[in-house]
Amino acid sequence: MLAGLQCILRRDMLLAVRRPTDVLNTLFFFVIAVSLFPLGVGPQKETLSQIAPGVIWVAALLAAMLSLGRMFSRDYEDGTLEQMALAPQSLSLLVVGKVMAHWLGSGLPLVLIAPLLGLQLGLDTNSLYILMISLLVGTPVLSLIGAVGAALTLGLRGGGVLISLLVLPLYVPVLIFGAGAVEAVRAGLGAQGHLSLLAAFLVFAAVFAPWTTAAAIRISIE
Protein backbone atom coordinates (compact mmCIF):
# COMPACT_ATOMS: atom_id res chain seq x y z
CA MET A 1 0.00 0.00 0.00
CA LEU A 2 2.80 2.41 0.86
CA ALA A 3 4.56 1.46 -2.38
CA GLY A 4 1.48 2.55 -4.32
CA LEU A 5 1.36 5.83 -2.41
CA GLN A 6 5.05 6.49 -3.11
CA CYS A 7 4.58 5.62 -6.79
CA ILE A 8 1.73 8.10 -7.23
CA LEU A 9 3.59 10.80 -5.33
CA ARG A 10 6.78 10.27 -7.32
CA ARG A 11 4.88 10.22 -10.63
CA ASP A 12 2.94 13.43 -9.95
CA MET A 13 6.02 15.27 -8.70
CA LEU A 14 7.93 14.22 -11.82
CA LEU A 15 5.10 15.53 -14.00
CA ALA A 16 5.14 18.80 -12.03
CA VAL A 17 8.88 19.15 -12.67
CA ARG A 18 8.32 18.57 -16.38
CA ARG A 19 5.51 21.16 -16.42
CA PRO A 20 6.90 23.97 -14.24
CA THR A 21 4.42 26.50 -15.62
CA ASP A 22 1.66 24.94 -13.50
CA VAL A 23 3.59 25.71 -10.31
CA LEU A 24 4.84 29.09 -11.51
CA ASN A 25 1.36 30.26 -12.51
CA THR A 26 0.08 29.64 -8.98
CA LEU A 27 3.11 31.31 -7.40
CA PHE A 28 3.03 34.33 -9.71
CA PHE A 29 -0.67 34.87 -9.08
CA PHE A 30 -0.05 34.80 -5.32
CA VAL A 31 2.83 37.29 -5.52
CA ILE A 32 1.05 39.65 -7.91
CA ALA A 33 -2.24 39.60 -5.99
CA VAL A 34 -0.54 40.49 -2.69
CA SER A 35 1.81 43.05 -4.27
CA LEU A 36 -1.05 45.00 -5.83
CA PHE A 37 -2.65 45.86 -2.51
CA PRO A 38 -0.05 48.50 -1.47
CA LEU A 39 -0.72 50.25 -4.79
CA GLY A 40 -4.45 50.36 -4.16
CA VAL A 41 -4.53 50.95 -0.41
CA GLY A 42 -1.55 53.26 -0.05
CA PRO A 43 1.95 53.05 1.45
CA GLN A 44 0.91 53.61 5.09
CA LYS A 45 2.70 50.90 7.08
CA GLU A 46 0.07 50.67 9.83
CA THR A 47 -2.75 50.16 7.33
CA LEU A 48 -0.81 47.56 5.36
CA SER A 49 0.20 45.57 8.45
CA GLN A 50 -3.39 45.60 9.66
CA ILE A 51 -4.79 44.09 6.46
CA ALA A 52 -1.77 41.89 5.71
CA PRO A 53 -3.02 38.62 7.32
CA GLY A 54 -6.33 38.70 5.49
CA VAL A 55 -4.75 39.77 2.19
CA ILE A 56 -2.13 37.02 2.24
CA TRP A 57 -4.60 34.34 3.26
CA VAL A 58 -7.18 35.33 0.64
CA ALA A 59 -4.51 35.42 -2.06
CA ALA A 60 -3.20 32.01 -0.96
CA LEU A 61 -6.73 30.57 -1.01
CA LEU A 62 -7.41 31.87 -4.52
CA ALA A 63 -3.99 30.77 -5.77
CA ALA A 64 -4.57 27.25 -4.44
CA MET A 65 -7.89 27.12 -6.27
CA LEU A 66 -6.20 27.81 -9.62
CA SER A 67 -4.64 24.36 -9.70
CA LEU A 68 -7.59 22.32 -8.41
CA GLY A 69 -8.96 21.64 -11.87
CA ARG A 70 -5.69 19.98 -12.90
CA MET A 71 -5.54 17.62 -9.92
CA PHE A 72 -7.47 14.80 -11.62
CA SER A 73 -8.52 16.12 -15.05
CA ARG A 74 -5.46 15.00 -17.04
CA ASP A 75 -5.52 11.52 -15.52
CA TYR A 76 -9.25 11.37 -16.21
CA GLU A 77 -8.79 12.30 -19.87
CA ASP A 78 -6.02 9.77 -20.63
CA GLY A 79 -7.58 6.89 -18.68
CA THR A 80 -4.99 6.80 -15.89
CA LEU A 81 -7.62 7.55 -13.25
CA GLU A 82 -9.68 4.56 -14.35
CA GLN A 83 -6.63 2.32 -14.02
CA MET A 84 -6.06 3.68 -10.52
CA ALA A 85 -9.63 2.79 -9.62
CA LEU A 86 -9.03 -0.78 -10.85
CA ALA A 87 -5.69 -1.15 -9.07
CA PRO A 88 -5.42 -3.56 -6.10
CA GLN A 89 -4.38 -0.70 -3.83
CA SER A 90 -7.04 1.35 -2.11
CA LEU A 91 -8.16 4.28 -4.25
CA SER A 92 -8.35 6.42 -1.11
CA LEU A 93 -4.65 5.84 -0.51
CA LEU A 94 -3.81 6.77 -4.10
CA VAL A 95 -5.88 9.93 -3.66
CA VAL A 96 -3.72 10.80 -0.64
CA GLY A 97 -0.66 10.58 -2.87
CA LYS A 98 -2.18 12.93 -5.44
CA VAL A 99 -3.26 15.41 -2.75
CA MET A 100 0.23 15.37 -1.25
CA ALA A 101 1.74 16.04 -4.68
CA HIS A 102 -0.74 18.87 -5.25
CA TRP A 103 0.18 20.48 -1.93
CA LEU A 104 3.92 20.12 -2.57
CA GLY A 105 3.48 21.78 -5.96
CA SER A 106 1.03 24.53 -5.03
CA GLY A 107 0.71 24.90 -1.26
CA LEU A 108 4.31 24.58 -0.08
CA PRO A 109 5.67 27.28 -2.45
CA LEU A 110 3.04 29.68 -1.07
CA VAL A 111 4.16 28.91 2.49
CA LEU A 112 7.80 29.58 1.61
CA ILE A 113 7.19 32.86 -0.24
CA ALA A 114 4.61 34.24 2.25
CA PRO A 115 7.17 35.70 4.74
CA LEU A 116 8.69 37.87 2.00
CA LEU A 117 5.26 39.21 1.11
CA GLY A 118 4.53 39.71 4.81
CA LEU A 119 7.65 41.84 5.13
CA GLN A 120 6.46 43.86 2.16
CA LEU A 121 3.22 44.56 4.02
CA GLY A 122 4.98 45.46 7.28
CA LEU A 123 4.42 42.40 9.47
CA ASP A 124 6.78 41.93 12.40
CA THR A 125 8.84 38.80 13.11
CA ASN A 126 6.33 37.12 15.45
CA SER A 127 3.49 37.70 13.02
CA LEU A 128 5.54 36.26 10.15
CA TYR A 129 6.29 33.17 12.23
CA ILE A 130 2.63 32.57 13.02
CA LEU A 131 1.70 33.33 9.40
CA MET A 132 4.00 30.56 8.17
CA ILE A 133 2.66 28.09 10.74
CA SER A 134 -0.96 28.90 9.91
CA LEU A 135 -0.30 28.47 6.19
CA LEU A 136 1.67 25.28 6.81
CA VAL A 137 -1.30 23.79 8.68
CA GLY A 138 -4.07 25.40 6.64
CA THR A 139 -2.97 24.92 3.02
CA PRO A 140 -3.12 21.08 3.22
CA VAL A 141 -6.75 21.49 4.30
CA LEU A 142 -7.36 23.53 1.15
CA SER A 143 -5.86 20.75 -0.99
CA LEU A 144 -7.88 18.03 0.76
CA ILE A 145 -11.18 19.90 0.46
CA GLY A 146 -10.35 20.94 -3.09
CA ALA A 147 -9.75 17.31 -4.05
CA VAL A 148 -13.38 16.52 -3.21
CA GLY A 149 -14.62 19.37 -5.41
CA ALA A 150 -12.25 18.42 -8.24
CA ALA A 151 -13.45 14.80 -8.15
CA LEU A 152 -17.12 15.77 -8.14
CA THR A 153 -16.73 17.96 -11.24
CA LEU A 154 -14.67 15.56 -13.38
CA GLY A 155 -15.80 15.58 -16.99
CA LEU A 156 -18.30 18.40 -16.50
CA ARG A 157 -18.34 21.47 -18.73
CA GLY A 158 -17.42 24.56 -16.75
CA GLY A 159 -15.94 22.43 -14.00
CA GLY A 160 -13.65 25.23 -12.80
CA VAL A 161 -16.60 27.43 -11.87
CA LEU A 162 -18.37 24.53 -10.19
CA ILE A 163 -15.30 23.73 -8.11
CA SER A 164 -15.26 27.31 -6.84
CA LEU A 165 -18.92 27.15 -5.88
CA LEU A 166 -18.43 23.84 -4.08
CA VAL A 167 -15.27 24.51 -2.11
CA LEU A 168 -15.40 28.23 -1.31
CA PRO A 169 -17.99 27.88 1.49
CA LEU A 170 -15.86 25.11 3.03
CA TYR A 171 -12.73 27.25 2.75
CA VAL A 172 -14.21 30.09 4.80
CA PRO A 173 -13.51 28.60 8.29
CA VAL A 174 -9.89 27.89 7.30
CA LEU A 175 -9.54 31.47 6.07
CA ILE A 176 -11.06 32.92 9.25
CA PHE A 177 -8.88 30.99 11.69
CA GLY A 178 -5.75 31.20 9.55
CA ALA A 179 -5.88 34.98 9.31
CA GLY A 180 -7.23 35.20 12.87
CA ALA A 181 -4.11 33.52 14.25
CA VAL A 182 -1.91 36.30 12.87
CA GLU A 183 -4.37 38.98 13.99
CA ALA A 184 -4.32 37.55 17.52
CA VAL A 185 -0.53 37.82 17.67
CA ARG A 186 -0.64 41.40 16.41
CA ALA A 187 -3.17 42.22 19.15
CA GLY A 188 -0.92 40.74 21.83
CA LEU A 189 -3.02 37.61 22.31
CA GLY A 190 -2.07 33.97 21.87
CA ALA A 191 -2.60 32.18 18.57
CA GLN A 192 -2.83 28.71 20.09
CA GLY A 193 -6.62 28.55 19.87
CA HIS A 194 -6.72 29.43 16.18
CA LEU A 195 -3.88 27.08 15.32
CA SER A 196 -5.50 24.27 17.30
CA LEU A 197 -8.71 24.67 15.33
CA LEU A 198 -6.73 24.66 12.07
CA ALA A 199 -5.04 21.45 13.19
CA ALA A 200 -8.46 19.96 14.01
CA PHE A 201 -9.68 20.88 10.51
CA LEU A 202 -6.59 19.20 9.07
CA VAL A 203 -7.17 15.97 11.00
CA PHE A 204 -10.86 15.92 10.08
CA ALA A 205 -10.11 16.57 6.39
CA ALA A 206 -7.28 14.01 6.33
CA VAL A 207 -9.62 11.33 7.68
CA PHE A 208 -12.71 11.96 5.57
CA ALA A 209 -11.60 13.80 2.40
CA PRO A 210 -9.66 10.90 0.77
CA TRP A 211 -12.57 8.50 1.24
CA THR A 212 -15.08 11.05 -0.08
CA THR A 213 -12.83 11.92 -3.03
CA ALA A 214 -12.40 8.26 -3.95
CA ALA A 215 -16.18 7.76 -3.90
CA ALA A 216 -16.66 10.85 -6.09
CA ILE A 217 -14.04 9.59 -8.55
CA ARG A 218 -15.81 6.25 -8.89
CA ILE A 219 -19.09 8.04 -9.54
CA SER A 220 -17.47 10.30 -12.17
CA ILE A 221 -15.85 7.35 -13.94
CA GLU A 222 -19.09 5.42 -14.09
In angstroms, the Cα distances linking 61 to 157, 174, 222 are 23, 9, 31
Is the pLDDT at 80 greater than 90? The verdict is no
Number of domains observed in the structure of the chain? 1
**pLDDT, position 159:** 64
Structural domain range at position 133: 2-221
Tens digit of each residue's pLDDT (9 = 90 or more) over 17-43: 888 887 888 889 999 988 888 888 777
Q: What is residue 202's predicted lDDT score, i.e. its pLDDT?
A: 94
What CA–CA distance (Å, rounded) separates 82 from 89?
13
Provide the percentage of residues in the chain whose pLDDT is more than 90: 31
The percent of residues in the chain predicted with pLDDT above 70, rounded, is: 98
Q: What average pLDDT does this structure show over 60-65?
A: 89
Please provide the DSSP assignment of 116-162 as one string. Answer: HHHHHTT--HHHHHHHHHHHHHHHHHHHHHHHHHHHHTTT-TTHHHH
Model-level pTM?
A: 0.88
pLDDT of 171-197, one tens digit each?
A: 999 999 999 999 888 887 888 889 999
Kindly tell me if the per-residue pLDDT of 16 is higher than 90.
Answer: no
* pLDDT at 154 (0 to 100): 82
Euclidean distance between CA atoms 148 and 51, whole angstroms: 30
Count CB-CB contacts under 10 A for residue 146. 30
